[in-house]
Amino acid sequence: MHIVILDGKASNPGDLTWDALRNFGDLTVYAQTLQDDVVLRAAEAEVLITNKVCFNADLFSQLPCLRYIGILATGYNNVDIAAAERCGVTVTNVPGYSSDSVAQLTFAHILNLTFSVAVHTNSVRDGDWCRNDMFCYWLTPLTELAGLTLGLVGFGAIARKVAAIAEAFGMNVIAYTPRLAVGSEPLPNVRAVTLETLLTTSDIVSLHCPLTDENRELINAGRLAKMKPTSLLINTARGMLVNEPDLANALTSGKIAGAGLDVLASEPPQHDCPLIGLKNCFITPHIAWGTLAARQRLLQVAVDNLAAFLNGEQKNVVTKKIVR
Measured CA distances, 54 to 28, 86, 165, 318 (Å): 19, 17, 35, 16
Write the Ramachandran bin of 272: left for phi over 0, alpha for psi from -120 to 50, otherwise beta: alpha
67, 238, 295, 297: the catalytic one is 238
Answer whether 248's CB lies under 8 Å from 221's CB: no
160 is catalytic: no
What is the rounded distance in angstroms from the CA atom of residue 155 to the CA atom of residue 161? 9
120, containing H or E segment: helix 117-125
Q: Which amino acid is at 293?
A: A
267 given a catalytic annotation: yes
**Residue of 144, 185, 267, 313 marked catalytic:** 267
Calpha distance 251→280 (Å, rounded): 7
**Alpha carbon 159 to chain centroid, angstroms:** 12
22 belongs to the catalytic site: no
Query: 2, 47 in Cβ contact below 8 A?
Result: yes
Taking residue 20's Cβ as centre, other Cβ atoms within 10 Å add up to: 16
Active site residues: 238, 267, 286
